A and B are shown apart, each in its own frame.
Chain A
Amino acid sequence: MRYMVMHYETEAMENGVTPTPEQQAAIGEYMKESAVAGVLLGGEGVHPSSSGARLEIADGNVRIIDGPFAEAKELIAGFAILEVDSLAEAVEHARKFALITGVERIDVRRVVEFSDLQ
């Protein structure tokens, strides 16, 4: 089963502070570790919300709002898709990510598979 592991922005990230070389190396280390464990299917980081947009739809009307958005803690900073056997296993990999990178919050969510929709 697949899990999406999402980590959230900090104020600093949202303010455009790019990760230090040490932080980048730490993230690289995690990517290597989870790739070598054979569980990492994919993952990306995203830029601060100031370079993004939000679509709000009500009654079929689409309103487009340019970033930045308030509440950095509600904004995803990056994600990884892991293929593992259980939620507990996904959590263990997320824990390693947390300890290596020092992010403040991570969510682990199960990905919907085709068979779940039957």
Chain B
Amino acid sequence: MEAGDLDAMLATLWRVDSPRIVARLVRLVGDLDTAEELAQDTFVAAIEKWRHEGVPSNPAGWLNTTARFLAVDRIRRRDTQRHKYHLVAATTPRSTDLDIGQIVDGDLADDLLGLIFMACHPILPPDARSALTLKLVCGLTTGEVARAFLAPEATIAQRVVRAKRTLAAADIRFELPGPAERPTRLDAVREVIYLVFNEGYSATSGDSWVRPELCSEALRLGRMLANLTPDDTETLGLLALIELQASRLTARVGPHGDPVLLMDQDRTRWDRLLIRRGLALIERIHRLRGTAGPYALQAAIAACHARATTAADTDWPRIAALYDGLVQITSSPVVELNRAVAIGRAFGPQAGLDVVRPLLDHPAMRGYHLLPAVAGDLSCGAGNHEEARRYFLDSAALTANTQQRRTMQRRAADCATHHAGSTPHQQDHDLPPEC
């Protein structure tokens, strides 16, 4: 085999097998740095051996066995060393003998889950959590993580190093939180997955407005987590939500990279396989009798859109009801604004306006260009053209996006000539239901 082919193959194997190898090593040796170092040693050993003897027909098996061997060797040496230190210090040696066989044969699913919990530890800032997770659990290189977040490679490398140092300093070793602690820790894990997904779905920086590679990493993580915690309805809710949102990814981008709003999308381009997966997850959540969490509720809203074969078929009353529930748990004004849109669609513009008006005085919403845009849209639908015109101009003044400003100015002009009165131009803002 050519050296280049072997490198390419090992890069693939790293991507496919390193998460489980690192996970097992972390559990054996306790800390991330040693585990990563041993995993790299394993791959170096593979290069040396396979170059001469060819690639075995079960490379993953070979890597696992070698990693285990290297880890056991390391533990023995460390124990011997500690034992000697203890003798020198003339204290009673703490028994560090491990039943290695027992540890090595543990459940792989637990190993992976433990690795995810460790990488998403709440002690780390969110950006460090996502970088570490993508690197350790998705097997991405530092360069790939950097490209995904459009950050310099040095920044990501530093972030990862600092994260590992923080974990080590706080003596956070491999751990699988007990059943009582798991739900709260899962919150942090879900947050990382959603953060990664959202950064891909509505990129906050860069030239393109979606970065599908980040979405697919988030999906991979979400699918992993959902399989590791199959009865956790909020995790299933998160996965359902991102599967359903991802089903619209290609339809969301116009021919020139411009955003296409939900109501204007060509629904034949929605990914049926992902929709089916999302809807199946929602069924499962129902069977497990869990629907009240924020992710599960957002997923249920996304499912209403996914079930509508045309925009006109959308079940707005149901969406409005789901937003009622969501507002109660999040009490977020942005969610309330979404509820206003849904109520406007379901029960007429006036009903929507009644929900929007109190928001206009909300301090957190000051400067949020979508608020007057929604208000303008509803006023326009209700026939108050002069009021609508003022809202659209407010919105135009607040947005930093040239394309959005132009749209708002055009709609204000439409209102001034009362054209909008004869053909109420409904606009969907494709607001993120979260925030």
Contacts and interface: CB of A to CB of B under 8 A. Distances in A.
Contacts of A92: 12-13, 16-17, 59-60
Nearest to A33: B108
Interface in A1-59: 32, 35-42
A89 interface: yes
A81 interface: yes
Interface in B9-60: 9, 12-13, 15-17, 19, 57-60
A85 B15 contact: yes
B16 A81 contact: no
A86 B112 contact: no
Given A42-B277, A96-B60, A114 B220 contact: no
B112 A93 contact: no
Interface in B103-153: 108-109, 112
A38 B221 contact: yes
Nearest to B217: A38
B232 to A, nearest CB: 15
Contact of B273 (A37, A81, A85, A96): A81
Contacts of B269: 114
Nearest to A113: B250
Interface stretch (B223-231, B287-295, B305-313): B223-231
Interface residues of A, number: 22
Interface in B192-238: 216, 219-224, 227-228
Interface string B374-413: 0000000000000000000000000000000000000000
Contacts of A114: 250, 269
A62 interface: no
B168 interface: no
Contacts of A88: 8-9, 12
A38 B15 contact: no
Interface string A93-118: 10110010000000000000011000
A37 B16 contact: yes
B228 A36 contact: yes
A37 B224 CA distance: 6
Interface string A69-91: 00000000000010101101100
A84 B414 CA distance: 48
Contacts of B216: 83
Nearest to B58: A99
Contact of A36 (B12, B17, B224, B250): B224
A35 B227 contact: yes
B109 A36 contact: yes
A88 B14 CA distance: 12
A43 B15 CA distance: 22
A83 B220 contact: yes
A25 to B, nearest CB: 16
A15 to B, nearest CB: 28
Nearest to B225: A38
A49 B228 CA distance: 36
Contacts of A36: 108-109, 112, 224, 227-228
Contacts of A96: 60
B60 A32 contact: no
Contacts of B250: 114-115
A38 B220 contact: yes
Interface string B257-283: 000000000000100011001000000
Given A38-B222, A41-B274, A93-B16, 14 more contacts: A35-B223, A36-B112, A36-B227, A38-B219, A38-B227, A39-B220, A39-B223, A40-B223, A83-B220, A88-B8, A88-B9, A92-B13, A92-B59, A96-B60
5 contacts: A37-B224, A42-B273, A42-B277, A92-B13, A99-B58
**7 closest A-B pairs by CB:** A38-B220, A38-B223, A38-B224, A88-B12, A35-B227, A92-B16, A36-B227
Interface of A: 32, 35-42, 81, 83, 85-86, 88-89, 92-93, 95-96, 99, 114-115
Interface of B: 8-9, 12-13, 15-17, 19, 57-61, 108-109, 112, 216, 219-224, 227-228, 250, 269, 273-274, 277
